[in-house]
Amino acid sequence: MGEALPDSVPQHVAIIMDGNGRWAQARGLPRKAGHRAGAESVREAVDACLELGVSFLTLYAFSSENWNRPQKEIDALMKLLEQFLKSKGKEFSKKNVRLRTIGRTNLLPPSCREQLAKVINDTSGNTALTVILALSYGSREELTDATRRIALKVQAGELDPADIEKETIARHLDTAEFPDPDFLIRTSGEFRLSNFLLWQLSYAELFISPKNWPDFRKTDFREALEDYSRRQRRFGRV
């Protein structure tokens, strides 16, 4: 007999996967070892979503600010991303998982873009879970790009400024085809959003774990969702 499921499961979970570097540093290991260990936690989060019935999982994998890290670490992260995509492509297909992405992925190395496009295409028909990788992503950049697209439509006479509503903005975001996250998990005990889904997380429930991401496993994910199930979401109502 398996463990009981939480009473209320969020449709969409977003995760800020923080603490890979600190995990490695605490063990006297190079930072890239922390990123490798974090990839295993991604697998466990995906499996937990499949078991619990979560439909969408967004992972903050590489932020726009991460381009400011030392080139050696960026190169290691891009190599790890490519390896992750190669290894997970078949696994995602086997588990009926669809891969999508948000962010300025045109800035990724060509080999990463090619592998990303391949996995997205190969998994496009899968229906059990959609995993959304935020790559070269920043919410302010996303909102800037959306504003520019809307302005161009106004300039072309395709859109009246008086008709711009909240839904108009949402339709021009990278996440237009996905529901907003119900639940945000951040690891490593940090209490900030770090330029992640600022528009989409407006009404999300937040969960901060003191554990570094490589230590955050399926049991921790389940406990977080159990915490979510005990909350009352009012959306400003009494």
Q: Which two tokens stand for residue 92?
A: 């995602």
Q: What's the rounded Cα separation, in Å, for the pair 84 and 133?
A: 12
* pTM, to two decimals: 0.94
Residue 96 is among the residues annotated as catalytic for this protein: no
The set of residues, in sequence order, having a beta carbon less than 8 Å from that of 105 and lying 6+ positions away, is 113, 116, 135, 136
The set of residues, in sequence order, having a beta carbon less than 8 Å from that of 131 and lying 6+ positions away, is 46, 57, 58, 59, 92, 97, 98, 99, 100
**What DSSP assignment string belongs to 6-21?**
PSS--SEEEEE---HH
Taking only the tens place, the pLDDT of each residue in 156-210 is 999 999 999 999 999 999 999 999 999 999 999 999 999 999 999 999 999 999 9
Residue 66 is among the residues annotated as catalytic for this protein: yes
CA 77 to chain centre: 16
Q: Which two tokens stand for residue 25?
A: 């540093």
Question: Mean pLDDT for the chain?
Answer: 94
Could you confirm whether domain 12-229 is CATH 3.40.1180.10?
Answer: yes
Active-site annotation holder among 20, 47, 66, 215: 66
Which region among 57-61, 85-89, 193-197 has the lowest average model confidence (pLDDT)?
A: 85-89
Taking only the tens place, the pLDDT of each residue in 196-229 is 999 999 999 999 999 999 999 999 999 999 999 9
